[in-house]
Chain A
Amino acid sequence: MSTLAHVISAVVAGVVQVGVVCVGGPLLLGLMRKVRSRLEGRTGAPVHQPLLDLRKLFAKQRVSPEQSSWIFPAGPVVLVATAVAVAAISPLATTHPPLGQSSDFFAIVFVLLLGSVFIALGALDTGAPFGGMGSSRAMTIGALAEPALLVAILAMSIPAHTSNLPALVRLGLVHPAVLVSPTRILALGSFLVVILAESGRLPVDNPNTHLELTMIHEAMVLEYAGPDLGLTILGESMRLMLLLGLLVNLLIPWGVANRPGALLFGVGIVVLAAKVAVAGAAIAVFEVFTAKLRLFRLPELLAGGFILAVLGVVTAVVSR
């Protein structure tokens, strides 16, 4: 195949991945809500309800609080933009995404972090007390979760000799023994704790509450309305889908297309959707049986995630 054909196929793959994450994120949210309500004995809204909500929100008029600056509307835009950028270059359905050489795990984490920082800044920008409270809590959790995530990535990159994300997924496909090594299991355990913390799921944050004492993420987006709120919901659900997609691909890489080809890529998309749906449903079931942790107990959970990652590094160095 010529270079041009390679470039075109990579670009098409990137665009399709972005589309899948854009539609799949809200659907994942709807699925998790459906599973939760079924387990609680309710019928629940249909799975595509978040998509309908988004259509309704995007049709509304834009409003922003008085005396807010350009940062307030920029927050949701940056959140979605970073999620789109990461969706394009991540190994979700293929291990050869566009710009695959530069999709370093550390870089992806920091691009996603940029979105969180902008949402926190947007919440602070309005001067409303809830926004500041939510931002402060979210940044505290973020500051505790980031070290755990960085050490977990370090642990996974030691056996692979690279922190390039497509290469990490490819290593699992080529050498399945890596998948059952304690390093990979401990690092992914730590990654799961960080995903729960970063995407504001139970036991860290209750996504359904608007109780002033406990809300974290909802407090930050309280001032947003209309299309801005729609963008925030879209961005957050895309991030959840992305993080879960990366987790399942690192855990069980089978199904991800390792060679170029439309058929393999299509299979990759279907398998990705199935894996993420199972992971999301599992988290929803877990959430039914868990209570939210007290804010002051959160450092214990995140320190646990951190120590798992540290153990991952030690076992990686030991068994090298």
Chain B
Amino acid sequence: MSASTYANVLELAAGLVIVCAVVTLWRRSLSAIVKTLAVQGIALGVVALTLGLHQHDDVLITVGCLVICSKGALIPTLLGRVLASEPKSRETSPLVNVPASLVGAGALIFLAYGATAPVVDLVGTTPGRLIPLGFATLLVGFFAMVVRRKAASQIVGLLLVDNGIALVAFLATAGVPLLVELGATLDVLLVIVVLRALAGQLWSRFGVLDLDQLRELHD
């Protein structure tokens, strides 16, 4: 792979990750958001694969394949099952309307660029220049968790944060160790299982899946 192709593919894949993060704020339908997350997971895997192929790092290539399988296929499928079990909540119910949250995301993206400028100077490699995109994905994920109250939307936000952290890790260091990446992916899987149980409980008790209902403790 020539140097310019390598930089181009890396830029495109990292750009796709942040575009997907913004699209999750843009779309209302939860099933469309889950599809977007799948695309983001694949883009993240492509970043790891490209880096691995360029640095001839077998572990990074393995991590890339794993990321594509887990974040591109497994987690979105599980999340899709959770959504299918909640027939009444096909749409997100954002606290902030969509145009305002998009403008907020724009501000966060610039904030991420400003905040990571010293890190970019420190790393100084081709992938290092793309670190702000990963950090921006992380901030957009936090933002999505704050402004959306449905249990499934919170998981979407958490996945965005996770993907952002993974992107920064791939770009800043030559990738996290395989064990750490596996651990993080398992954590997210566990959270989805817990969410599945929580959603069932919420549904049977309140008939809605709004986390604001969980304000009091019960015996």
Q: Please give the residue numbers on chain A whose beta carbons come within 8 Å of chain B beta carbons, in ascending order.
A: 177, 180-182, 185-186, 299-300, 302-304, 306-308, 310-311, 314-315, 317-320
CB distance from B35 to the nearest CB of A (A): 16
- Residues of chain B contacted by A317 (CB below 8 angstroms): 113
Given A177-B8, A304-B26, A314–B133 Cβ distance below 8 Å? yes
Q: B residues within 8 A CB of A314?
A: 18, 109-110, 113, 132-133, 136
- Interface set of B (CB-CB < 8 Å, partner A): 4, 7-8, 11-12, 14-16, 18-19, 22, 26, 98-99, 102-103, 105-106, 109-110, 113, 120, 129-130, 132-133, 136
| B15 touching A315, Cβ below 8 Å | yes
Q: Secondary structure at chain A's binding surface: helix, strand, loop or mixed?
A: helix
Within the complex, the shortest CB–CB distance from B8 to chain A, in Å, comes to: 6
Q: A180-B12, A314-B132 are in contact. Are A300 and B22 (CB under 8 A)?
A: no
Check A319/B129 contact, CB under 8 A, given A306-B102, A311-B18, A314-B113: yes
**Residues in chain B near residue A315, CB distance under 8 A:** 11, 15, 133
C-alpha gap A224/B55 in the complex (Å): 66
> In the assembled complex, how far is the CB of residue B129 from the closest CB belonging to chain A, in whole angstroms?
6
**List of A residues within 8 angstroms of B113 by Cβ:** 314, 317-318
**Contact (Cβ within 8 A) A310 B26:** no
Q: Which residues of B contact A300 (CB under 8 A)?
A: 26, 98-99, 102
Are B99 and A177 within 8 A (Cβ)?
no
Across the interface, do A186 and B106 meet the contact criterion of CB distance under 8 Å?
A: no
CB-CB under 8 A for A307 and B106, given A177-B4, A186-B19, A300-B99: yes
Residue of A nearest to B21 (CB): A311
A177 surroundings in chain B (CB, below 8 A): 4, 8
Task: Give Cα A304–Cα B113 distance, bound, in whole angstroms.
Answer: 20
Closest to A151 in B: B106
Please determine whether B102 and A307 come into contact, CB atoms closer than 8 angstroms: yes
| Given contact pairs A177-B4, A300-B98, A308-B19, a sample of 15 additional A-B residue pairs in the complex whose CB atoms are under 8 Å apart | A180-B12, A181-B11, A182-B12, A300-B26, A303-B98, A303-B103, A306-B106, A307-B22, A307-B105, A308-B22, A310-B110, A314-B109, A314-B132, A318-B113, A319-B130
- Bound form: Cα–Cα A303–B104 in Å: 11
With A299-B99, A300-B98, A307-B105: A318-B132 Cβ-Cβ less than 8 Å: yes
> Smallest distance from the beta carbon of A203 to chain B beta carbons, Å?
14
A275 to chain B, nearest CB (A): 23
A300 to B26, CA, bound (A): 7
A64 to B188, CA, bound (A): 68
Pick the most buried of B98, B103, B106, B109: most chain A CB atoms within 10 A of its CB: B106
By a CB distance below 8 angstroms, the chain B residues around A308 are 19, 22
Give the docked Cα–Cα distance between A182 and B103 (Å).
20
15 contacts between A and B (CB under 8 A): A180-B12, A181-B12, A182-B14, A186-B15, A300-B98, A300-B99, A303-B103, A304-B102, A306-B106, A310-B109, A314-B132, A315-B15, A318-B120, A318-B132, A319-B129
